[in-house]
Amino acid sequence: MAPAPKPLQPAWDTEGLRQALAPRLPGLRVEWRATVDSTNTRLVEQARGQVGRRSADLAPCLLVAEAQTAGRGRMGRRWASTPGRSLTFSLSLPLAPVAWGGLSLVVGVALAEALDPPAAPGAAPRIGLKWPNDLWLLDAEAANGVGRKLGGVLVETVAVGPQRMVVVGIGLNIAAPAAEPGMAAPEHGLGTLGELEPGLGAPAALARVAPPLVGALQRFEREGWAPFAPAWAGRDLLAGRPLTLHGSSRAVQGDGAGVDTDGALLLRCAGDAIERIVSGEVSVRLAATA
Ligand code: BTN
């Protein structure tokens, strides 16, 4: 008989994490699951009160899963993660910012700074941010000169009476996934945290990113997007690059020109006209390089 698989949970110090976050998030629950459909779906349904007979739930919750059977990416895409080789979690908390613009960018900034702290002035960062909220590992060897996708963020909000819960879902590649027959490699390849920091496992990465993530969300609630804009600009992967944006009805071409005070992407098009692209409206593709 094959030996029973070793339980993975002991690696996750859920109680230590709860204690670290509780001063900022009183009443927080931290939960671990071997498998769920999607950590975002679970927390969205929990907030809406669709779990069992419970009523809508405004208590903050961090749910980490080893594997998802129906992981969701942005724009209706699937998100695949591999047990032991991915960090897959969602955090839900009530939030009441004056304006919501820039929220998903704030998450990217918080993650990038936690995993790749700002280096000496002028030094190039190792983690870049691709609007609206992709993390990319930057390296000189990348064939396209811009790097490889390291992780992604899916932000959803749920109205609970007069209040709003935000569910922030994060997927990070810790180690390269085993090749799956028939599964196409991503267009620009995958980057992993192991390349940036060998030996950093998913539980340690979660313990590293969760406190600054909560801090950034709460700062965003108080102060909005503006204080995060300089850090974004320092890691903006699209600034000055030729881009094609694929919207629902048309494609737009231009050069990335940063983001505005609402976190919308700015694109310098023909005749120097600036197009403003609102988060979630389009996907961004880097133009093929020569
Ligand atoms: C993207 O790049 O398209 C966003 C990917 C977000 C994936 C994470 S994994 C944890 C959480 N649960 C999900 O179903 N999706 C997010």
> Is the confidence at residue 288, as pLDDT, over 60?
no
Please tell me the distance from the alpha carbon of residue 148 to that of residue 130, in angstroms, as a whole number: 11
Question: 289 vs 241, which has greater pLDDT?
Answer: 241
Say if residues 167 and 61 touch (Cβ distance below 8 Å): no
Most confident of 6-10, 133-137, 224-228: 224-228
Q: Between 124 and 98, where is the model more confident?
A: 98
- pLDDT, residue 250, reads 75
Question: Residue 252 pLDDT more than 80?
Answer: yes
- Ligand 1 is surrounded, with C-beta below 6 A, by 38-40, 68, 71-74, 77, 79, 88-90, 134, 152-154, 169-171
**Segment 11-23 mean pLDDT:** 95
- Whole-model pTM: value is 0.91
Quote the CA–CA distance of 261 and 226 in Å, as a whole number. Answer: 7
Contact in structure between 34 and 66 (CB atoms under 8 Å)? yes
Reported as a single tens digit per residue, the pLDDT across 178-215 is: 766 555 556 678 899 999 999 999 999 999 999 999 99
* Ligand 1 atom index nearest CA of 70: 14
The 10s digit of each residue's pLDDT in 102-130 is 999 999 999 999 999 987 777 889 999 99
268 is catalytic: no
Going from the Cα of 54 to the center of ligand 1, the distance in angstroms, rounded, reads 25
For the chain, the residue count is 290
